[in-house]
Amino acid sequence: MEAVKISIIKSETQYNGYCRRVEELLDSGSKSKTVSDEIDLLSLLIEKYDDEHNTLDDAAIAPVLLLKSFMADAKLKAVDMAALLGVSKGLVSDILNYKKGMSKEIIRKLAERFKVRQDAFNRPYKLKSATRKPGIRRNRAGHKAYTTRGRKVGSLVAKEPTVKYAGVAAKRKKK
């Protein structure tokens, strides 16, 4: 039996070499016990090195950009992601457009699907604030309130409620 010369990773060069070796072993398709043990040992050392030299620092890529990158690599669309995550297309769209954050369940499913640690998606990022379009909104009393760019400009309150009959507005008679 051939002895494998493997030691604790002490440099990035050694780390990269071990990563290449694991890829070679996996690509070889060999299922012998020696190959399996070597893959396990190298994977353990690589994981330990990753934990000590956290490759995801604070300046790492934002979770949404990372997700978009993974989607592009896998040629997935928002519809595909919605089916994969078990959520609506609207929620996926809101996440991709920075309108909503990712829930713990979504983070878990993304990490599992793309084979990365949950930390990659579980990072703070700035959401876009919801801006209201100009138009007519209803206030609490149910009256029309005209708005411009999210600010209330004025409201119209009818003195007497009106009811439309056959396209003609008629004032309701008071009893």
Q: Quickly tell me which residue has 């007519």 as its tokens.
A: 136
| Model confidence pLDDT, tens digit, residues 43-62 | 999 888 887 876 555 456 78
Nearest partner of 113 among 55, 174, 70, judged by Cα = 70
Nearest partner of 159 among 147, 146, 148, 174, judged by Cα = 174
The whole-number pLDDT of residue 53 equals 76
Q: Quickly tell me which residue has 């002490």 as its tokens.
A: 10
The correct answer on CATH 3.40.50.20 for the domain covering 63-120 is no
Mean pLDDT of the region 125-143: 66
pTM of the model: 0.47
More confident residue, 18 or 161: 18
More confident residue, 132 or 70: 70
The whole-number pLDDT of residue 140 equals 66
CA distance 63 to 54: 16
